[in-house]
Structure 1
Amino acid sequence: MLALIALATLALLGLTSSASAAGMEIEPGTARVTTSTSQAGAHPDVVVEFRIAPDDTGERPVGSAHTTVVELPPGLIGNPTNFASCSMQDVVRMMNATGPNQDACPREAAVGFADLDVRFPLAPAAGLKTWRQRIFRITTNPDEPAVFGTSILSLPIRMIASVRSDGDYGLTITAPRLHESAMLRHFRGTFWGVPADHQGGGADATMGDGSSILPPSRDGWRFGGRLPGAQRKPFMTNPGYCPGTPLGAGISASAWAEPAAFSPVAIAPIGPITGCEKLEFEPQIAVAPENGDAGQPSGYRVDLTVPQTNEADVLATPNLKDAVVRLPQGVALSAPVANGLQSCTDAQLAIDSKQPETCPDASKIGTVEIDSPLLDEHMQGSIYTGEQLSGDPESGAMYRLFLTAYEAGVRIKLRGAISVDRSTGQITATFDDNPQLPFARLTLRLKSGDRAVLVNPQACGTHTTDATLTSWGGQSKSPFAQFGLDRNCAGGGFAPSFTAGADNAGAGESPSFHLRVTRGDGEQGLSTIETTLPAGLLAHIGDIPLCGDAEAAAGTCSAASKIGSTTVGVGTGRKPLYLPQSGKAPTAVYLGGPYKGAPYSLVIVVPAQAGPFDLGTVVVRAALFIDQATTQVTVKADPLPAIVGGVPLNYRDVRVAIDKPAFMVNPTSCDVKSVTGSLGSTGGSAVAASSRFQVGDCGTLPFKPKLTLRVGERGKTGNRRMPPLDVTLSMSRGQANNRGVRVTLPRAFNSRLRVINDACSLEEFHAGQAGCKQVGTAVAKTPLLQEPLLGRAFFVKHPERRLPDLMVALQGQGSASLVKVNLTGKVVIPRNLSLRTNFDTVPDVPIDSFTLSLQGGKNGVIGNIGNICSAKVKRGLKAGVVFTGQSGKRVSRQQKMTVVGCGKATGKKKAAGKKKAAGKKRAAKNAAKKVAKR
């Protein structure tokens, strides 16, 4: 009878059964998965059972099954590596052999047995038979993790075990392309927990009708007893997870009529699993840099070990669920890693797909190796930089790691969150809900070299990594690992390089100004930069709208306020990261308003965009102080941010370019000068810096100052009166600036010592002139500011001179209201008793005009001897004037003085004079009010 069945079966290979039909289903209530014990981590016999729903007759399946699928719950696994294997061909020959192939498969390859109810529709005499056959471990193809097989009369049944890499990482057992001529009605497969306990003697394997399925010569092959000499190694293992509710397996099938159309999944409950508290979980961690140089970029190796047991009578180790690893403080992200780095998107990772990831090669930052007891070979894979999803470094979504690994059809894809302390840069890596698959060791190797991911701590000594590792069984352990650094331990000095200068050295020209500070690798970090420009190197500030405080804080200044840019090189190692990077947002330097007591400021905006990361916008303010005597500009920058986005910057190269066209203006003095500075380190060190500065071609600049002297006022001009004096200096643009102006009045005028002797002290003058008596006013117009500077004149006692100085305190108006400039005129009375004032320290500043008005009357500064209204005296009123240019040119002349206010006016002339005098008086009062509002 068996031979007839076999012949009929062989004759039907490749034919379509008339009973095949669509709409195959698992018969309700027949899907069952049972385990011989519910103890977590134990090694039970696992029985999988289901029936194919019958047709209308109720006698046979509704169709021929093409594929059956059993989806076991996560954590319920089988370990095939403990057992021998044989080929599917040997299984087929062995199950039907009476000759030399009867022992083709070793007994150690048997891992269970199957009961199959099968009907052969074209051999009705065969009826519905129950076949009991061994299940063997079968040799696999390259992309198959494990295969099990059996046979019915030369018809192979191949069961492929795979991991659901696109889901919960549970095991799926798929039996594809079952033979169409054998209609499966009922399947009951038993997978042994410890196969050695069943591979020996016991009852014969039989058919359902009691007849033996083995030839008489094979009766020694029996189930049920222990195989003598066989090692007792576990095959099936319960989950190490006790959720308190039953787990579920899913079973489905498809028919030959529609192989791709699977029946609804029938759920077979399992459990619940109990006894997780009995499981042992003792993971270990090791973290070590590739080199022991403090403060240098380094590759890192991380080993996570979860010891596994392979004993039949010992509960298995629960699988790792959550891992939190805190690297030592000082181990930080290395900025240069962003050079050329790309990121991998979630779509490219395709974590819900069994297909390989498509991450760019430029996003790979390391390798992965996983040693799993379920596979004969190590899994190999890659570490990728995940796409940034947040601007918060502590969120875990700003920096992400993707881990992938593959071997023999098993593909692992994990997403990790990297949280970085925004203040210290300490790194915490978190991987939650890891697959319920066992591994003995997981090794991560982060790349090394100039673009290493991590940088070593700055200090030598022992550094400790802490971890919190939690199993699916609920156990939580806190192992730690230590490594030492023993090179480059001395701690760097601080000897930065400083260069500064203009790209156009022509006197009075409009240059671009460049400053650069560099620091050697291994030195203390750069923290502060203070720079003083040479006298005469100024800017057309009045032409630029100022960036407000709110905009400055946000780094959103108007483009109209931009005056330059900056370049910043950061990071340790031989190849720093430079910002801005090509294709990223540019940096900018803006002119800002008052800041920390200074009249102006620089707003330096650096978008921290590098590689795939956007760490936000870094804004550094720098106060611009203007010396009141020399007008030299001192730039005091706020401390540079040491960490941005949790990444230590370690400044190596800072460059600032003030290159707005026609903004800067060179001195008109060719004296050798310097750009000086003070540079501070993160370790508290400070060094002075200086860079030579000199312009040329000063002699080619014209120098033709014009001066007018006007003395008198109606009612204050005449014999022995105290007339007012107005002195106006005017300059056309493009000339050398004044360095000194000396005016010697004719002997017809003398000083009023009473007024001069009322001079205030130098301290009172610098304290705001509250205790000083005003003797005049001043107005200065410069092309560098939109509005003129207004000022008041005072006599101020100087400890080094016999006579008080005539000092003028000028102050800007409008947006320049905090600009203050003091001019000092040294008063001298030569032997001929004339009155001389010498302004010999005039700043190298371009001016359009400067007017000094000394008041007359009872508080007047000068008096006249004789009647200056007489024609003869008028003709002789000439002042000796000497001009000295910043270029070194000197101009001397006898300047005629204009006398006004003589004679009596009548009629229209008198009325016009009064009107003019009243207007002048009002203007003077208004100017005085503006100055008084300071």
Structure 2
Amino acid sequence: CGPRGFAPSFVAGTENPVAGESSTFSGVVARDDGDRQLRTLDSVKLPEGLLGHVSKVETCADAAADAGTCGEGSRIGRVQVAAGPGSSPVWVPQQGKAPTSVSLAGPYKGAPYSLSVVVPAQAGPFDLGRIVVRAPLNVDRLTAGLSTRIDVSRVFDSDGRLDQVVEGAMPTIVKGIPLQVREVRVIVDRDGFTVNPTSCEASSVDATVGSEGGQSKDVSSRFQVGECASLGFSPRLGMRLLGKRQTSTGSHPALRTVLTQPDGQANIGLARVVMPRSIVLDPDNSVDPELVCDYDTGQRGECGEGSVIGKARAVSPLLKKPLTGKVHLVQGIRFGPTGNRIRTTPSILVKLRGEVDIDLYGRTTVHAGRLVTVFKNVPDARVKRFALRIKGGSKGILVVTGSRQGNIDICDSRQTANLAFTGHNGKKTSYRRTVRTPCAKAGKTRKAQRNNDR
């Protein structure tokens, strides 16, 4: 006979594939009886926007996750495993035996979250203990996409003593008995935990599966949700210039923006803000090497304190706490046809930190004499409120410009911004927004003048 092959099958998806809705998620990897044994799961990458509602779940402590003793509060799912040769393998868990579990745990191996998967090694009269698999749950900084892998498997005997440790793989033998795992089903079925994307673009769940003999196969399962058109899309952005002494030509007002969006809508994929004509980038501060992070450092998200121009705060119902962070000014670069670098207007890097790390990049341009900032590729993740503040003062990057007639004061006219948003479901909305200013209201101005005349 020739060497055994390895051609694992892989199917994954949600039971209720409706955009933005919660649903049970399952993934199944299996092999034929004659194939090499399943050994490793080196990578599982979920579609962008397929996320977990971690705010609804307790986080299992690290020691309990290692031991496989997480409580019910952190349980998010279960597993089913088929093992043994022939046409009728044994399925675990068996009726009347200990249940399986998938629990959400905290930071692990550099990932913000992790999984603790428990499978009892029980079949018929045999009790070989339990197998506990730890897996980091990574969150991509740019897309918020989730990925995981098997990091370590621990085998505990029936008395709870650690009997075996297998790095980066599943065990193939327990107590001298070959497991011959044929199929593994992971089912994440905690009510309201898994959230579907709000994009109906076709995607996939991708994985890399390894065999006992060291063979490796990349597998993929098509993924797509529907009914995106039924999702509403009406984000609202409020804007305000700050600094009572920063209203005339050459001064540097601060800027505060607050973005809000109702529940149950498509998530924002793109945001475009056109500033009032009187507010532009300061031609000196916006290119000062001491104030601007260089392009390559910015692409790595590693800008230092010198380039901080503001701060931001994002509130997501998916997370237990808000994300907060600093806003950096990054050197703008575009690449020519030969790969040469061409300087452009600077970009904005928003480094949100907290339970997860997310980096948002906004590109600035000038169109028809007005400053335009565009945030492309915003993650398909629910955000209830996003606040951003840009500092003013002598080192501020925003400056009040003049007009053909000379100097101006923003208090002398209404300041209007043009706003446009595109949802991950393809819907668009645009509108004009009056930008509030630090100027005194007319009534207050007249009252102050009367007091001065007394």
Could you tell me the TM-score, scaled by structure 1's length? 0.43
1:603-643 CA distance string (max 9 Å, x none): 10111111111111110011100000000000112211222
d(CA) in 2 for partners of 1:514, 1:687: 20
Q: Given residue 398 of structure 2, which amino acid in structure 1 is its aligned partner?
A: I
User: How many Å apart are 1:545 and its aligned residue?
Assistant: 1.2
Asked if structure 2 preserves the Cα contact closer than 8 Å seen for 1:715 and 1:901, the reply is no
Match of 2:311 among 777, 781, 788: 777
Q: Given residue 734 of structure 1, which amino acid in structure 2 is its aligned partner?
A: G
Report the counterpart of residue 164 of structure 2 in structure 1: none
Within 5 Å, which residues of 2 pair with 1:782-861? 782-800=316-334, 802-812=344-354, 816=355, 819-830=356-367, 832-861=368-397
d(CA) in 1 for partners of 2:121, 2:203: 36
User: How many Å apart are 1:771 and its aligned residue?
Assistant: 6.3
Match of 1:507 among 12, 19, 34: 19
Change (3 A) 1:722 1:526: same
Asked if structure 2 preserves the Cα contact closer than 8 Å seen for 1:674 and 1:691, the reply is yes
SS at match of 1:708: strand
d(CA) in 1 for partners of 2:332, 2:211: 40
2:188 counterpart of 1:648: no
Asked if structure 2 preserves the Cα contact closer than 8 Å seen for 1:764 and 1:771, the reply is no
Change (3 A) 1:621 1:653: same
Change (3 A) 1:902 1:723: farther
SS at match of 1:899: coil
2:15 counterpart of 1:528: no
SS at match of 1:560: helix
d(CA) in 2 for partners of 1:492, 1:902: 81
Flag structure 2 segments of 5+ consecutive residues without an equivalent: 152-168, 336-343, 402-406, 449-454
d(CA) in 1 for partners of 2:295, 2:220: 31
User: How many Å apart are 1:849 and its aligned residue?
Assistant: 0.6
Change (3 A) 1:544 1:804: same
User: How many Å apart are 1:745 and its aligned residue?
Assistant: 0.7
1:495-550 CA distance string (max 9 Å, x none): 10010000011110001100000011121221122211101000111221111111
Asked if structure 1 preserves the Cα contact closer than 8 Å seen for 2:252 and 2:394, the reply is yes
Report the counterpart of residue 7 of structure 2 in structure 1: 495
Change (3 A) 1:763 1:542: farther
Q: Given residue 432 of structure 2, which amino acid in structure 1 is its aligned partner?
A: Q
1:106-160 CA distance string (max 9 Å, x none): xxxxxxxxxxxxxxxxxxxxxxxxxxxxxxxxxxxxxxxxxxxxxxxxxxxxxxx
User: How many Å apart are 1:852 and its aligned residue?
Assistant: 1.1
d(CA) in 2 for partners of 1:780, 1:597: 22
Within 5 Å, which residues of 2 pair with 1:15-414? none
Within 5 Å, which residues of 2 pair with 1:739-750? 739-750=269-280
SS at match of 1:754: coil
Report the counterpart of residue 893 of structure 1 in structure 2: 431
Which one has a larger percent strand, Structure 1 or Structure 2?
2
Asked if structure 2 preserves the Cα contact closer than 8 Å seen for 1:580 and 1:587, the reply is yes
Asked if structure 1 preserves the Cα contact closer than 8 Å seen for 2:249 and 2:399, the reply is no
Flag structure 1 segments of 5+ consecutive residues without an equivalent: 1-488, 910-934
SS at match of 1:793: strand
User: How many Å apart are 1:666 and its aligned residue?
Assistant: 0.6
d(CA) in 2 for partners of 1:708, 1:767: 27
Report the counterpart of residue 559 of structure 1 in structure 2: 72
Q: Given residue 65 of structure 2, which amino acid in structure 1 is its aligned partner?
A: A
Match of 1:695 among 206, 211, 225: 225
d(CA) in 2 for partners of 1:721, 1:498: 61
2:87 counterpart of 1:545: no
Asked if structure 2 preserves the Cα contact closer than 8 Å seen for 1:491 and 1:523, the reply is no
**How many pairs align?**
411
2:95 counterpart of 1:589: no
d(CA) in 2 for partners of 1:618, 1:728: 48
Report the counterpart of residue 23 of structure 1 in structure 2: none
Q: Given residue 651 of structure 1, which amino acid in structure 2 is its aligned partner?
A: V
SS at match of 2:419: strand
User: How many Å apart are 1:821 and its aligned residue?
Assistant: 0.3
Q: Given residue 863 of structure 1, which amino acid in structure 2 is its aligned partner?
A: V
2:117 counterpart of 1:580: no
- Aligned-pair identity in percent equals 41
Q: Given residue 853 of structure 1, which amino acid in structure 2 is its aligned partner?
A: R
Asked if structure 2 preserves the Cα contact closer than 8 Å seen for 1:720 and 1:867, the reply is no
d(CA) in 1 for partners of 2:199, 2:360: 18
2:278 counterpart of 1:721: no
SS at match of 1:870: helix
Asked if structure 2 preserves the Cα contact closer than 8 Å seen for 1:549 and 1:592, the reply is yes
Q: Given residue 499 of structure 1, which amino acid in structure 2 is its aligned partner?
A: V
1:786-816 CA distance string (max 9 Å, x none): 211001111223543622211101011xxx2
Q: Given residue 829 of structure 1, which amino acid in structure 2 is its aligned partner?
A: V
Q: Given residue 426 of structure 2, which amino acid in structure 1 is its aligned partner?
A: G
Q: Given residue 573 of structure 1, which amino acid in structure 2 is its aligned partner?
A: G
d(CA) in 2 for partners of 1:670, 1:839: 21
Report the counterpart of residue 120 of structure 2 in structure 1: 607
SS at match of 2:229: helix
Report the counterpart of residue 411 of structure 2 in structure 1: 870
User: How many Å apart are 1:903 and its aligned residue?
Assistant: 8.4
Match of 1:622 among 124, 129, 135: 135
Q: Given residue 294 of structure 2, which amino acid in structure 1 is its aligned partner?
A: S
Asked if structure 2 preserves the Cα contact closer than 8 Å seen for 1:760 and 1:771, the reply is no
Asked if structure 1 preserves the Cα contact closer than 8 Å seen for 2:301 and 2:359, the reply is no
d(CA) in 2 for partners of 1:515, 1:798: 42
d(CA) in 2 for partners of 1:555, 1:879: 55
Could you tell me the TM-score, scaled by structure 2's length? 0.87
Q: Given residue 526 of structure 1, which amino acid in structure 2 is its aligned partner?
A: L
Change (3 A) 1:630 1:740: same
d(CA) in 1 for partners of 2:178, 2:286: 62
d(CA) in 2 for partners of 1:625, 1:548: 18
Change (3 A) 1:682 1:754: farther
2:300 counterpart of 1:764: no
SS at match of 1:851: strand
**Relative contact order: is structure 1 or structure 2 higher (C-alpha 8 Å, sep ≥ 6)?**
2
2:196 counterpart of 1:661: no
Q: Provide the alpha-carbon RMSD of the alignment.
A: 1.9
User: How many Å apart are 1:761 and its aligned residue?
Assistant: 2.5
SS at match of 2:394: helix
